[in-house]
Amino acid sequence: MDWHQLDLSPRITAAVRRAKLKCVQDVLCVSGLDLQRLTGLSRSDVQQLITAAATACRPHPPVPALLLHRGECRRLESGLRLSVGCPVLDELLRGGLPVGGVTELSGESGAGKTQLALQLCLSVQYPTQHGGLNSGAVYICTEDVFPSSRLQQLISDQSCLRSDVPPTLISRLQFSDHVYIEHTADLESLQVCLSRRVPLLLARGAVRLLVVDSVAALFRCEFQASDWLERTKQLLSFSSTLHHLSQEFNTPVLCINQRRHRDPPNPGRQEAPPLSSNVSPALGLAWANQVMVRLMMRRLQETVARGNQRSALRRLEVVFAPHLARDGRDAAVWREGVRGLTGSECTDVQH
Partner 1 sequence: MRPVSSLSLSPSVKVRLVSAGFRFTSDLRGLKPLQLSKEASLSQPEALEVLQTVRRVVGGDEGGGGASASLTALELLQKEEEELRSIVTFSSQLDAALGGGLPVGKTIEICGAPGVGKTQLCLQLAVDVQVPSCFGGVGGQMVYIDTEGSFLLQRVVDIATAGVRHCSLLAEDDEQRVAMETFTVETILSNMFLVRCHDYVELLAELHLLPGFLSAHPRVRLLVIDSVAFVFRRLFDDLSQRTRLLNDLAQQLIAMATRHKMAVVITNQMTTRLRGGQSQLVPALGESWGHAPAIRLLLHWVGPQRMAAIFKSPAHMDSTIQYQITSEGFRDANQCEQPQSKRPRRHTNQPAASQRVTSC
Which among 46, 44, 51, 58 is positioned nearest to 19, based on CA atoms?
46
Angle at 244 (CA atoms; ends 238, 249), nearest 5 degrees: 130
DSSP string, 105-122: EEE-TTSSHHHHHHHHHH
Residues 48-77 that bind partner 1 (CB under 8 A): 50-51, 53-58, 60-66, 68-69, 76-77
Residues 200-259 that bind partner 1 (CB under 8 A): 236-237, 239-240, 243-244, 246-247
Least distance (Å) between residue 82 CB and partner 1: 14
Whole-Å CA distances, 36 to 3, 40, 43, 126, 212: 17, 5, 7, 57, 47
Least distance (Å) between residue 51 CB and partner 1: 7
Q: Does 16 bind partner 1 (CB under 8 A)?
A: no
DSSP lists the bridge partners of residue 281 as 259
Least distance (Å) between residue 124 CB and partner 1: 19
Q: Which is nearer to partner 1, 270 or 301 (CB)?
A: 270
Least distance (Å) between residue 328 CB and partner 1: 15
Q: Which is nearer to partner 1, 255 or 333 (CB)?
A: 255
The answer to whether the CB of 95 falls within 8 A of the CB of 82 is no
The answer to whether the CB of 82 falls within 8 A of the CB of 128 is no
Distance CA 158, CA 86 (A): 12
Number of neighbours of residue 256 by Cβ within 10 angstroms? 25
Q: Which is nearer to partner 1, 287 or 334 (CB)?
A: 287
Q: Which is nearer to partner 1, 45 or 182 (CB)?
A: 45
Sequence-ordered list of residues with C-beta below 8 angstroms from that of 76, at least 6 positions apart, any chain:
63, 68
Least distance (Å) between residue 184 CB and partner 1: 21
Q: Does 79 bind partner 1 (CB under 8 A)?
A: yes
Least distance (Å) between residue 192 CB and partner 1: 18
- Residue 273 is classified by DSSP as P
Binding site for partner 1 (CB under 8 A): 25, 28-29, 31, 33, 36-37, 42-44, 50-51, 53-58, 60-66, 68-69, 76-77, 79, 94, 98, 100-101, 236-237, 239-240, 243-244, 246-247, 266, 268-274, 284-286, 288-292, 294, 319-320, 322-323, 325
